[in-house]
Amino acid sequence: MVGLSPGTLVHIGKKPPGKVRITVIDYDEAHVIEKEVKTVDECFPFKNTPTVTWINIDGVHQADIVEKIGKCFDIHPLLLEDIMNTEQRPKIEDFGNYLFIVLKMIYPDAKGKEIESEQVSLIIHSNYVITFQERTGDVFDPIRERIRNGKGRIRKMGPDYLAYALIDAIVDSYFVISEKFGEQIGDIDEELVTDPTTATLRGIHKLKRELLFLRRSVWPIREIINVLEKAENPLIKKTTGIYLRDVYDHTIQIMDTIEIFRETLSEMVDAYLSSINNRMNEIMKVLTVIATIFIPLTFIASIYGMNFSWMPEIEWPEGYHIVLLFMLALAVLMLIYFKRKKWI
Amino acid sequence: MVGLSPGTLVHIGKKPPGKVRITVIDYDEAHVIEKEVKTVDECFPFKNTPTVTWINIDGVHQADIVEKIGKCFDIHPLLLEDIMNTEQRPKIEDFGNYLFIVLKMIYPDAKGKEIESEQVSLIIHSNYVITFQERTGDVFDPIRERIRNGKGRIRKMGPDYLAYALIDAIVDSYFVISEKFGEQIGDIDEELVTDPTTATLRGIHKLKRELLFLRRSVWPIREIINVLEKAENPLIKKTTGIYLRDVYDHTIQIMDTIEIFRETLSEMVDAYLSSINNRMNEIMKVLTVIATIFIPLTFIASIYGMNFSWMPEIEWPEGYHIVLLFMLALAVLMLIYFKRKKWI
Amino acid sequence: MVGLSPGTLVHIGKKPPGKVRITVIDYDEAHVIEKEVKTVDECFPFKNTPTVTWINIDGVHQADIVEKIGKCFDIHPLLLEDIMNTEQRPKIEDFGNYLFIVLKMIYPDAKGKEIESEQVSLIIHSNYVITFQERTGDVFDPIRERIRNGKGRIRKMGPDYLAYALIDAIVDSYFVISEKFGEQIGDIDEELVTDPTTATLRGIHKLKRELLFLRRSVWPIREIINVLEKAENPLIKKTTGIYLRDVYDHTIQIMDTIEIFRETLSEMVDAYLSSINNRMNEIMKVLTVIATIFIPLTFIASIYGMNFSWMPEIEWPEGYHIVLLFMLALAVLMLIYFKRKKWI
Amino acid sequence: MVGLSPGTLVHIGKKPPGKVRITVIDYDEAHVIEKEVKTVDECFPFKNTPTVTWINIDGVHQADIVEKIGKCFDIHPLLLEDIMNTEQRPKIEDFGNYLFIVLKMIYPDAKGKEIESEQVSLIIHSNYVITFQERTGDVFDPIRERIRNGKGRIRKMGPDYLAYALIDAIVDSYFVISEKFGEQIGDIDEELVTDPTTATLRGIHKLKRELLFLRRSVWPIREIINVLEKAENPLIKKTTGIYLRDVYDHTIQIMDTIEIFRETLSEMVDAYLSSINNRMNEIMKVLTVIATIFIPLTFIASIYGMNFSWMPEIEWPEGYHIVLLFMLALAVLMLIYFKRKKWI
Amino acid sequence: MVGLSPGTLVHIGKKPPGKVRITVIDYDEAHVIEKEVKTVDECFPFKNTPTVTWINIDGVHQADIVEKIGKCFDIHPLLLEDIMNTEQRPKIEDFGNYLFIVLKMIYPDAKGKEIESEQVSLIIHSNYVITFQERTGDVFDPIRERIRNGKGRIRKMGPDYLAYALIDAIVDSYFVISEKFGEQIGDIDEELVTDPTTATLRGIHKLKRELLFLRRSVWPIREIINVLEKAENPLIKKTTGIYLRDVYDHTIQIMDTIEIFRETLSEMVDAYLSSINNRMNEIMKVLTVIATIFIPLTFIASIYGMNFSWMPEIEWPEGYHIVLLFMLALAVLMLIYFKRKKWI
């Protein structure tokens, strides 16, 4: 990006395999048309129809396609740059006759171990919504289903409701992720009790970083919804406001969960350190107790190992056994003392 | 919730046993009617009477009942969704002709060890109040008693005063809980002095998490009351304002107590670590002192255990006893030295 | 409080011995009347006189007295509840024709070791001030003296100036307490250097908690004074404003001192831990050095304690002394080495 | 600076070698003139031309040159003082007919190990931009190239767009630096896993301090852009606003990265301490286990080294081997026990 | 202060030796009069002259002098109290026809080791400035010099510019102090690397406390300047505004430096603890290694010290040397192993 003229289209981020896929859904209360188009030009006719049109582009790594859409739908060049730079922060920008929203869609990867994130950009116009995603596959299928079936309100409402439904789907996906986090925290907590290792600490730090990432994805959504709700923008109808408020509540709920998770993880670091310390202390204590018992015994033995010519006990017939018994008694007494002191 | 059309009623939370129980109390200054109704329809006649009606629903896990009430009393579908989702944050929403409030009722469980929480949703209308609870059993009995007896102001005031009384009862119940916390913190503090174990640390962390939960339940009440007080809503009469202010003061008092508890718990973590450390140090010190006393003595004994052909002391008649005495003197001197240095 | 109708008068807090004591001081520029009254009724005549009247009630644990005053002077029932609940937070409430202020008076106990706190409630009316205290004995004597002597401005000014003087006396008493804290911190600091024990840590934690309490008593005074100053209340005259500003500055100064104390106490916890650690390390180091010196020496002795039939050194006439000298040399060398390494 | 009359020009900062270098680029849509001037006077003719003029001064350590420019272009003496003091914070000041901006340009040094920073001051006037740098060499070459080639919008726009381009170039350079930080953090993370030393900790602290410096350079840019955007200044055209918004987003992105780096470094300090501790514990554990195994064995040996006249085992022909075997068995048993306990 | 009528003049703070010294400088563009006056009365004639008069009082411990000045120049009694109480926080108060500012002047003591602070109070009137200092000697000499010489703007400007110059001189003196701090931090950092002791930790804590004090002296200056700048006070001319802005920038720069110092000191506490720990660990490691090498060797020696009648090795002619060599080999092997494991 450094040194380039602003508005130059360069893809930033991981390049997914395969080529860009464009689908169009056009609907009103009476009908639905759904098709996958081969070239960008095929979706231009939908631009000025009175029906609601949802154009979805999977893949933002081909500058020519993004540029063509930008030109046709009259999108500011800097926004096209933002769409292709997949390291944006979630944000909203109001261009008067259309709104531009960037969001992060987060989902577990195929194996369910790692978290994958994808940038979703929305253009909300008075009669169409354009969504840009990085890869094929998203959390919008239930919405498509609702449009097809005509269930719920969606077919009766405008593009602002569609946009709400899309944002809502993304926010809902955070709940799934936050449950995953809950499970992983549970796993680590068990590890902490049974067998804490350095890997456990690394695991806690990894989760903390991922939560930080999640928080940075969720936090700006509050502001986005605030802008949507309050802006006296003709694009957003009053009736959609209460739905947006609902999404807002959800983001706050997720933020709360994240905060609890972060607090829990901080406590787990403490618990880890304390547990490592405890285990080490236990070991050292037992070992030291063993040494402490045998050192005085060895001293007694070494006394009778001295070669003085006159040592009366040496000559006693039962001297040896008396000493052995004395040693045994001493060891037992020490053990009892240590036991009573709760040292072992 | 993921993928569902907004407004679809799904119960989220623990499903209590038994079925939904609906009670109605209808009163004005002159009379009181109180009855448990079998079906939802029985409470519809109270909707438009000039008297104050309090409809209480115990159990929000049956979608059909919630939906029926919603339809009759004209409640927005999204609110019904909120009522059935028992993981809401406390909040207030103003729908012009009615107010919607979500609160958390917290009480100790049957055994008095754990904390249970229940979501209470209030619909405040100009002539009725509807409350939704998760389970039978609540903190509202004294209010019912006051309505029956006609003691205090309650029978002379409108639904806004009833709503205030309900909120006040919930906030008061937090005082009970915070006393419980105080006792538990006292118990752990005693444990810390007498016999701190890993369980003590876990106990501290558990309390911290519960306080966090309590704080998240209390904190939004400030905002709720602010909205109630300031909103120039015809539903809330001026005279009720000063009572709301009183509840506001109580929530701040609880927040203060929570902060002190949290501070205290943080100090207890420090004290725990320091005490564990101290105990370990004490043990190690004593054991090391024992070893340190016997190692030089053993060295002396081992000297006279050497087999040199010419060792004059060996031949002395009193050599053995002199060495024993010397060892004793050395041990005593070391003990005195350690004692003076405060090492034992 | 739980379950009671709001406005029910219940005393919350420690019940002081003895009964309630009521004193009245009535003054204007020309005269002063001061008397202790037996019954509440005796102070009613002062209600509507144009002179300034200060009614002081020592003891808030008798509901009937508080209620009687409340009725006569037309005080809102909820305020009476607040007056009797001695666990209030400092606060101000504006009832139009009178102001209600709650403050905490803090002073060292008889022995000068502990801190005692008492709740003071003020009712400021256009021609009288009523103060409620928990116990006999307060920080207001210099004000009484000034009224009696007619020194300073007080006799020429109205009830707002009297209220200012009372608040100022309470804030000034915090300076005394904060000096006490300074001394106690100094004591603990000395303990830290000479002989830190677990009690030292407990002492630090106790001070921290007391500072927290002090801060919670001082902090809201800023807001109280802000309200007094800014409220365009006819009860507070412009000329009193600058005096209130002075009290405001004092509270900020106390807050500053508290912050420094808290910072210092935090550092003392660090210093405590570091010092405990250091001492332990010193002990372990010395003990380990002793062991480390004698273990090799014992090894040498044990070599010559072996019973091999052919050990040439054994037969040397001076073998024994050579070995002893060698051991001595080794011990001295080790000591020099440890000394140079600064291990002992 | 202390004691000098305000506006006295004194250079503060490192004095670079060589003398001051002044270059002028003058352009409009049709033409470009670019030249290096020998004396300050040569750039005066460009002052009132309708074309856009960019005067760049490399070196602010010669008071006479700065003063001459200041006089000709009518810059406030205090600003000249700010320009020569290279320890300014980034800031913006609006003088009505011109804007003054201070920024920090950050780049890796020649070896790529250290970070160098240079203060850049901008004067934005309605038909010229003056930039002051500390040394020759900057991040503006791509902009010069764009002006020469007439690529992009730059030649068609005014000095406000030029100023935007310069600020954008500086902000972009922070991305390069933040990547460098990412690499260094990666290096230290590897060191932490393989061989953490005190140098590692010093390295972490150094990075933390550098991040702090970077943050203080980036943070005020947000405010600068806010002022530029919002000020209804005729110097900044509406069309430039959206570009400034873009720069604003970039600074937030950098701030985010910095926060993550700081969080990561904090975790690395924890990980360092925990790893140092672990390593030490491992060593002590193994050593203690060795001692613990041999101390009881030595005790047994010392028993049979006693000189009692009557010790039956001594006389057994296989006594020696039995004892040796017993010792071996004991050692093995202890090892198994320690192994099972996971102590070794 | 406790119990005194407000406005009673009592000196609070260290009483400096010597008596109060009053100097007057009276100037306009054309002339300067400078003299030291014996009695307060001598400076009264300057009160109503159109020239700028700067009355400087060194010493605020004599109530009669402060009171006399207060009466003549019509200063509010509470301000006189503030002037004599040298434990004020920096603050500004606007009395309509004059401004009252309290500042802290900070300078290194005679030996350059400790930091001394002195309270400076300013009264800014439309044609005079009165400054109160605690002791003779200040940072204002360069200003006096500038007035005498007529250099710079000062002689052409009013009392507001003089006040600015005084504030600027005080803020500039903070730079000197912050450099001193930088040096002391450098010294401690070196100590940390070479020989960290408990004194080092105390040194760090002392610096932290001094920085806290400095911060509390600097922080309120921002607000003071904000008030000066924004107040539409006829006392402060528009032209002085930009100079005040400059001082504001300086205070922010100092705040920044303080923050960095505090961060650095926090890291130094970490580094101290880590270094103390490391050193201790090093010692313990070496000592334990020594013990661990000799314990097995001693065991071997004690085996051959057993008195079994049948021990074949004992009879071998070279048995002794074989065992010695075996011991040597074992010791060397252990050393190599420990070396390879990086334990020594």
From residue C120, give the alpha-carbon distance in Å to each of C86, D263, E152.
Answer: 9, 47, 58
Q: How many CB pairs under 8 A join A and D?
A: 137
pLDDT at B233 over 80: no
Residue A95 pLDDT class (50, 70, 90 cuts): confident
B244 with B261, same domain: the answer is yes
Q: What is the pLDDT of residues E28-63, one digit of tens each?
A: 988 999 999 988 888 888 888 889 999 999 999 988
The last residue of a domain, from among E246, E273, E300: E273
CB contact under 8 A, B168 and C6: yes
B150 with B299, same domain: the answer is no
Residue D3, pLDDT score: 60
pLDDT at B98 over 60: yes
Residue E3, pLDDT score: 61
Does D28 contact chain E (CB < 8 Å)? no
E311 with E235, same domain: the answer is no
For residue A64, the domain's CATH number is: 3.30.460.20
Residue A136, pLDDT score: 86
Residue A3, pLDDT score: 60
DSSP C85: B
d(CA C200, CA C223): 36
The answer to whether position C215 is within a domain reads yes
Does E240 contact chain D (CB < 8 Å)? no
The last residue of a domain, from among E273, E303, E322: E273
pLDDT at D1 over 70: no
D52 with D80, same domain: the answer is yes
Mean pLDDT for D27-48 is: 88
pLDDT at B326 over 90: yes
Between β-strands A128-133 and E52-58, what pairing exists: parallel, antiparallel or unpaired? Answer: unpaired
Secondary structure element (H or E) that encloses residue B36, with its range: strand B32-37
Residue D41 pLDDT class (50, 70, 90 cuts): confident
Closest residue of B to A294, CA-based? Answer: B291
Residue C241, pLDDT score: 85
Mean pLDDT of chain A: 89
Mean pLDDT for C55-78 is: 91
Residue E143, pLDDT score: 92
Q: What is the pLDDT of residues D147-176, one digit of tens each?
A: 998 877 899 999 999 999 999 999 999 998
pTM given for the model = 0.81
Mean pLDDT for D98-120 is: 87
B260 with B288, same domain: the answer is no
D320 with D207, same domain: the answer is no
The last residue of a domain, from among E241, E273, E305: E273
Residue B3 pLDDT class (50, 70, 90 cuts): low
Does A324 contact chain D (CB < 8 Å)? yes
CA A261, chain centre distance (Å): 11
For residue B289, the domain's CATH number is: 1.20.58.340
pLDDT at A150 over 70: yes
Residue E23, pLDDT score: 94
Residue B96, pLDDT score: 82
CB contact under 8 A, B198 and A168: no
Does E3 contact chain C (CB < 8 Å)? yes
- CA A64 to chain D, closest CA, distance in angstroms equals 18
CB contact under 8 A, E287 and C289: yes
Using only the alpha carbons of chain E, give its radius of gyration.
35
C16 and C61 Cβ atoms separated by less than 8 Å: yes
Residue of E193 and A181 predicted with greater confidence: A181
C185 with C311, same domain: the answer is no
**All residues at 6 or more sequence positions from D168 whose CB lies less than 8 Å from its CB, including other chains:** A6, D243, D246, D247, D250
Written as six digits, the tokens of B286 are: 């004593």
CB contact under 8 A, C320 and B298: no
Q: What is the pLDDT of residues E141-158, one digit of tens each?
A: 999 999 998 877 899 999
pLDDT at D93 over 80: yes
- Selecting from D1, D91, D314 the residue whose C-beta is nearest the C-beta of E175 gives D1
Reference D288, options A1, E194, A287, A88; nearest CA is A287
Residue B255, pLDDT score: 93
Q: What is the pLDDT of residues D303-324, one digit of tens each?
A: 999 998 888 888 888 889 999 9
E264 with E287, same domain: the answer is no
**All residues at 6 or more sequence positions from D74 whose CB lies less than 8 Å from its CB, including other chains:** none
Q: Which chains touch D (3 or more CB pairs under 8 A)?
A: A, E
Q: How many CB pairs under 8 A join D and E?
A: 138
CB contact under 8 A, A319 and D307: no
E243 and E229 Cβ atoms separated by less than 8 Å: no
Which residues of D, range 42-101, sit inside 8 Å of E by Cβ?
76, 78, 81-82, 87-89, 91, 93
CB contact under 8 A, A302 and D302: yes
Stretch among B258-262, E165-169, E227-231 having the lowest mean pLDDT: E227-231
- CA D40 to chain A, closest CA, distance in angstroms equals 29
CB contact under 8 A, B253 and C315: no
- CA E7 to chain D, closest CA, distance in angstroms equals 36
Q: What is the pLDDT of residues E99-128, one digit of tens each?
A: 999 999 998 887 777 888 899 999 999 989
A169 with A290, same domain: the answer is no
The answer to whether position D13 is within a domain reads no
- CA B298 to chain A, closest CA, distance in angstroms equals 5
B157 with B263, same domain: the answer is yes
Mean pLDDT for D328-338 is: 94
Residue of A115 and C330 predicted with greater confidence: C330
d(CA E130, CA E310): 107
pLDDT at B101 over 70: yes
- CA B303 to chain A, closest CA, distance in angstroms equals 8
d(CA E38, CA B63): 93
Mean pLDDT of chain D: 89
Q: What is the pLDDT of residues B305-317, one digit of tens each?
A: 999 888 888 888 8
The answer to whether position B207 is within a domain reads yes
Percent of chain A with pLDDT over 90: 45
- Selecting from E146, E281, E311 the residue whose C-beta is nearest the C-beta of D280 gives E281
CA E70, chain centre distance (Å): 32
Mean pLDDT for A249-258 is: 92
Residue B231 pLDDT class (50, 70, 90 cuts): low
d(CA B103, CA D117): 54
C228 and C246 Cβ atoms separated by less than 8 Å: no
Report the 3 state secondary structure along D40-90: HHHHHHHHHCCCEEEEEEECCCCHHHHHHHHHHCCCCHHHHHHHHECCCCC
d(CA E116, CA A332): 66
E240 with E287, same domain: the answer is no
Residue D231 pLDDT class (50, 70, 90 cuts): low
SS3 D13: coil
Does E302 contact chain D (CB < 8 Å)? yes
Residue E333 pLDDT class (50, 70, 90 cuts): very high
The answer to whether position A91 is within a domain reads yes
Residue D130, pLDDT score: 96
Q: What is the pLDDT of residues A3-44, one digit of tens each?
A: 667 767 888 888 887 789 999 999 998 899 999 998 888 888
Q: What is the pLDDT of residues C290-337, one digit of tens each?
A: 888 999 999 999 999 999 888 888 888 888 999 999 999 999 999 999
- Selecting from D264, D305, D310 the residue whose C-beta is nearest the C-beta of A317 gives D310
The answer to whether position D279 is within a domain reads no
- Selecting from C169, C260, C281 the residue whose C-beta is nearest the C-beta of E280 gives C281
The answer to whether position D12 is within a domain reads no
- Selecting from E142, E263, E274 the residue whose C-beta is nearest the C-beta of D201 gives E274
Q: How many CB pairs under 8 A join B and C?
A: 138
The answer to whether position E216 is within a domain reads yes
CB contact under 8 A, A274 and B201: yes
Residue D326 lies in domain:
284-340
CA C149, chain centre distance (Å): 33
Does C320 contact chain B (CB < 8 Å)? yes
Mean pLDDT for C270-294 is: 87
- Selecting from E176, E284, E292 the residue whose C-beta is nearest the C-beta of D291 gives E292
C82 with C181, same domain: the answer is yes
The answer to whether position B10 is within a domain reads no
Q: What is the pLDDT of residues C203-219, one digit of tens each?
A: 999 999 899 889 989 99
Written as six digits, the tokens of B132 are: 């939704």
Percent of chain D with pLDDT over 70: 98
State how many domains chain E has.
Answer: 2
